[in-house]
Amino acid sequence: MITKGNNNDTELNNFSFEEVGDDHLFTGLKTPMKPNAFNISDQEKKEKIADLFKEIMDVMGLDLSDDSLKGTPKRVAKMYIEEIFSGLNPANKPKVALFDNKYQYNQMLVEKNITFYSNCEHHFVPIMGKAHVAYVSSGKVIGLSKLNRIVQYYAKRPQVQERLTNQIAEELKEVLKTEDVAVIIDAKHLCVSSRGIKDDTSSTVTSFFGGKFNTPQKIAELQNTLNY
């Protein structure tokens, strides 16, 4: 049996990747990062990644003198740091401004079908899906686009869907100063569909219901809204 822990666990069992296989193992809410993760600049990271990826391509037997391949290591490095894993850097966290709820709108606000692309931290292959987020104002509101940006920020890092769901929810709670938030994610994992079991029809659904949303009535209301 695989034991899940959190960031305070000091006795988390160690498993080899052969033992873990394709099981969904993760160790806590925070993305696992080294304390010195930002001791070098993004430019230095891109240079190191390009060198290392060039070595990987060479080991696989690819001809790096070919016009189509010789620029690939630098392209991959740039993509990793500036695009698909840019959410690892706190400097890229979206700036969020709160506004008074002058409309006195006190029902749930739902932003649905937020498209996101992430990457499975176990195989570094894409996770593609939709996120639905909702909140009830505590007296303050944020711009709608900021909800999308929060989703994208946490998606742009090696992820596990359960962690992604909770990270988005915790960020919304902190930003909006309310427990009344909900997050539902429906995603397709290429580590399931393109390798391993190769099931191309299944998807994974995770959810977080906090505060007023954590009741059967409110969950049903939210689900009806999403199905509208």
**Active-site residue, 122 included:** yes
Of the listed 120, 132, 159, 167, which one is catalytic? 120
Residue 226 CB-density burial (10 A; 0-12 exposed, 13-18 middle, 19+ buried):
middle
Catalytic residue among 159, 167, 171, 189: 189
For residue 47, how many other CB atoms are within 10 A of its CB?
15
Give me the catalytic one of 47, 111, 121, 162. 121
| Active-site residue, selected from the candidate residues 152, 159, 161, 167 | 161
Catalytic residue among 123, 162, 170, 179: 123
Q: Based on the residue annotation, tell me whether 162 is a catalytic residue of this protein.
A: no
Q: Is residue 161 annotated as part of the catalytic site, yes or no?
A: yes
24 is catalytic: no
The type of residue at 52 is: L
Burial 123-159 (b: 16+ CB within 10 A, else e): beebbbbbbbbbbbbeeebbeeebbbbbbbbbbbbbb
Does residue 55 carry a catalytic annotation? no
**Six-digit token pair at 94?**
């979206």
Give yes or no: 120 in active site: yes
Catalytic amino acids?
A: 120-123, 161, 189, 191
